Amino acid sequence: MTSVAEAAVGRVERRLLDGELGLDAHLARHGRLPLLDGSQIIGMARDSGLTGRGGAGFPVWRKLSAVAEAGDGSAVVVANGAEGEPASGKDRALLAYQPNLVLDGLQLVAAATKARAAHLYAPKAALAPLRALLEARRVAGLDRMSVTLQAAPDAFVSGEESAVVSALNGRGAVPADKRIRVIQAGVGGSPTLVQNVETLAHLALIARYGAGWFLSAGTADEPGTFLATISGAVRRPGVVEAGYGVPLGELIAAVGGATMRLQAVLIGGYHGGWVPADPALPVSRQALEPYGASPGAGVLVALPAGACGLGETARIAGYLADQVAGQCGPCINGLPRMAATLADLAARRPRAGLAAEAERLARLVSGRGACHHPDGTARLVLSAMRMFQADVAAHLNGRCLATEGYR
């Protein structure tokens, strides 16, 4: 086994996405899951420092122990593969190439929480091939808990955890108020654990190779690898895997390099933040925090020097405003207004106080919805106003630095 000293810290490497397709190949490579009891599973989740890969980065062991305690035998566990984010493809890739790791992980969290039911929630297209696989696993005696498949509608907010619970409860996949958390009362009123499919796949590897192995990738504070979906001005847009702390340049190189000189990269997806296209910048929570960004669910979009960052942000803000799940006043009203303000700025329709108005609206909607959709949209807009400050000034004077070649 690799020792920590010689570990490939923060390097591109394949752990989750390695290996041949199919159940036989999976069993030949990784073997069956070792038999572990609940406290062993929670213990190894804690020792590995595994955090959620669905965006928020919450420590897995804490949620596991909270649900195990609250559930007392009635808990429900859900693998979340909704991946409503248009720039993300890693969960679909994982479900297509290594679904057995996800299903193993789901069994582990079911055992850890002494769950009464397990669900896999993903877009319809991803579910179809899983039916036969679940049957094969049942025949092979791999799954103690049977797994129900639930189709996730194609919408940005459909993977938000209370929306997931709402869908499983037979209502629309829209978020709910958070005064009562799903870990207290979720599916059928039972304490519910919602975990991203990639998180579960990591847990399946940790169960076999140990917390120490997991810790040999990534940084001391942010261990392990993550799946990144990289798009924009790169040669081979797609999904790669790397340890946290990987330099931005190495990630871009892993998808064939940039097709043009880059000016900025959006990290963390449509709810993320813009950072400079500095090849040395480590992709970790710690290193991205000064930019108001975080690796989130590993979504990166590379912006070429000749494109307008304000235009691109306005396009995304418009999309996000359209994805508002029509429930919360400040979000329903605020996001379209914020997107329209940004569109005016992007299209160089200046008026007094335009830039300040975009920032005011971003602050006004933050924290004022049942889910974090307004917060995430505001984060994107505020980061664009910082990152593209010179462009904002130029646009207010009717010029564009990017498309008119001033850069």
Partner 1 sequence: MKLHVDWTACDGRGVCTELLEEMLVEDDWGFPVARDGQRSPAVPPPLEGAAKQAVDRCPMLALKLIAR
Ligand X SMILES: Cc1cc2nc3c(=O)[nH]c(=O)nc-3n(C[C@H](O)[C@H](O)[C@H](O)COP(=O)(O)O)c2cc1C
Question: Which spans of this chain sit near ligand SF4 (rule: CB under 6 A)?
Answer: 157, 175, 324-325, 327-328, 331-332, 369-371, 373-374
Binding site for ligand X (CB under 6 A): 52-56, 58, 80, 82-84, 156-157, 159-161, 194-196, 199, 371-373
3-class DSSP assignment, residue 119: strand
Q: How far is the CB of 359 from ligand SF4 (least distance, A)?
A: 19
For 325-341, the DSSP string reads: -TT-HHHHHHHHHHHHH
Q: How far is the CB of 323 from ligand SF4 (least distance, A)?
A: 7
Handedness of CA 152, 64, 379, 258 (dihedral sign): negative
In the complex with ligand X, which residue's Cβ is closer, 122 or 240? 122
The reply on whether position 330 binds partner 1 by CB under 8 A is: yes
The CA distances from residue 173 to 87, 152, 169, in Å, are 20, 8, 9
Residue among 51, 189, 33, 49 nearest 111 (CA): 33
**Are 390 and 401 contacting, i.e. CB atoms less than 8 angstroms apart?**
yes
Interacting residues with partner 1 between 309 and 328 (CB under 8 A): 327-328
The reply on whether position 370 binds partner 1 by CB under 8 A is: yes
Q: How far is the CB of 174 from partner 1 (least distance, A)?
A: 8
- CA-to-CA distance for 152 and 167, rounded, in angstroms? 8
The reply on whether position 400 binds partner 1 by CB under 8 A is: no
For partner 1, which stretch binds (CB under 8 A), given 129-137, 262-270, 281-289, 331-339?
A: 331-339
**Are 194 and 161 contacting, i.e. CB atoms less than 8 angstroms apart?**
yes
- CA-to-CA distance for 392 and 395, rounded, in angstroms? 5
- CA-to-CA distance for 118 and 120, rounded, in angstroms? 7
179 binds, among partner 1, ligand X, ligand SF4, none (CB under 5 to 8 A by kind): partner 1
In the complex with ligand SF4, which residue's Cβ is closer, 64 or 370? 370
In the complex with ligand SF4, which residue's Cβ is closer, 277 or 325? 325
In the complex with partner 1, which residue's Cβ is closer, 331 or 400? 331
Q: Which residues pair with 194 in a beta bridge?
A: 78
216 binds, among partner 1, ligand X, ligand SF4, none (CB under 5 to 8 A by kind): none
In the complex with ligand SF4, which residue's Cβ is closer, 49 or 334? 334
Distance of CA 242 to the CA centre of its chain: 15
In the complex with ligand SF4, which residue's Cβ is closer, 53 or 373? 373
Instruction: Retrieve residue 74's tokens.
Output: 């009635």
